Structure 1
Amino acid sequence: MNQLTTNQVIRFSKATLMLFISIFGLLVMYSNVTDYATNYENISNILSMETTDDDEKYTYRAITSQILHHRIYWLIITLEVIYTLFFMIGTCYLYKNMSSSAEEFHEAKKPAIIGLLIALLLYYVGFQVIGVEWFNMDQSQAWSYKDWTRHIVDFILPLLIYIAIKVEH
């Protein structure tokens, strides 16, 4: 009987964590496509800044065009589709290369790392930086994604570091 090595467990954990984040991506995509109206309303309210404090002081930042709201929302959905595809491809590559050499396994991480970077772009730069800092999303009691995206970033960033680091042999 083969002994399970720490290296095998590390490789398996990296592939499995990518599977977990792939499931997250699929569920977010599904939600945004099947419940477009509700999620669009959230994005529209954030962009128009109608429920933030000091409305008059920052109104020049607001985007009030519904056409732009839809386009920005579709950009968000497109990024979700792209990062989820990279997550799923990365997951497959990692499982497929579970018994490969250390170099081959490390190279198999590329799609996963790209997907994680795209997700960070969306959730950290898009929501945490632009949403909170530019559109004052955190000041809205009803339309803030701040806490939700922080939890996502708090998972994705350490996952990116864990996946990218080359500890397996």
Structure 2
Amino acid sequence: MLRYADGDFWIRSSKALLALIVGMWALAAAYGNVADYGTNWIYVQNIMSMSATQDDPIVAWRAIDDPAVQRVAYAAIIVGEAVAGAFFILAGILMGLRIGKPSRSFQAAKAPYAIGLIAALLVWLFGFMVVAGEWFQMWRSPTYNAQQSAFMFYATMLLAGVYIFQKSEEPLAPPDSR
């Protein structure tokens, strides 16, 4: 019987819920990019064409002005966000279903979160911070700089992962009936 004081139940529940919330966030980002395609499409175009650095020939050669290549990059962002979200949610569901199971089973349910985290890091850390931020020098754009948003995404997902990946002990034994 579940008791309010059963700390392991609540810790495991919070991990499952956190994975679900992070997953919904990533899926909402993907959905937003599909439903309102044009809003962030302008960002991708301006960053890849390096509109903020056109007067700097030292780096301007890196610009990609081809709309087809830009669309492939935008599609990769959307797919990456959706994949991350789907795996985070899968982890949350699996953890939720295994809350009362042995530690090994609960730990195994966390694996999809790691897969989602890889996808998230590829999108927000590598894609936004490394490629857009440094290669295309997004940081120089006063209008089309998404580095703070990207940091918020991957830092939150990483911090959630630190908590989620902490080993969960075996469920607490029922109290003695003496």
Instruction: Judge same fold: TM > 0.5, yes or no.
Output: yes
The aligned length equals 169
Structure 2 partner of 1:32: 33
- Give a deviation string over 1:60-108, Cα, whole Å, max 9, x none: 1111111100011011111111111111111110111111110000001
- Give a deviation string over 1:128-161, Cα, whole Å, max 9, x none: 1111111110110010110111111221111122
Q: Is the 8 A contact 2:27 2:86 kept in 1?
A: no
Q: Secondary structure at the match of 2:113?
A: helix
Q: Where in structure 1 are there 5+ consecutive unaligned residues?
A: none
- Shift of residue 26, structure 1, vs aligned partner: 2.1
Matches of 2:98 and 2:33 in 1, distance apart? 32
- Shift of residue 117, structure 1, vs aligned partner: 1.9
Superposed counterparts of 1:1-169, under 5 Å: 2-52=3-53, 55-169=56-170
- Shift of residue 53, structure 1, vs aligned partner: 7.4
- Shift of residue 115, structure 1, vs aligned partner: 0.5
- Shift of residue 3, structure 1, vs aligned partner: 4.0
Larger CA Rg, structure 1 vs 2:
2
Q: Is the 8 A contact 1:49 1:55 kept in 2?
A: no
Residues 18 and 96 of structure 1, relative CA distance in 2, 3 Å threshold: same
Matches of 1:80 and 1:9 in 2, distance apart? 29
- Shift of residue 167, structure 1, vs aligned partner: 3.7
> RMSD across aligned C-alpha pairs, in angstroms?
1.5
Report which stretch shifted further, 96-105 or 78-87. Answer: 78-87
Q: Is the 8 A contact 2:50 2:63 kept in 1?
A: yes
Q: Where in structure 2 are there 5+ consecutive unaligned residues?
A: 171-178
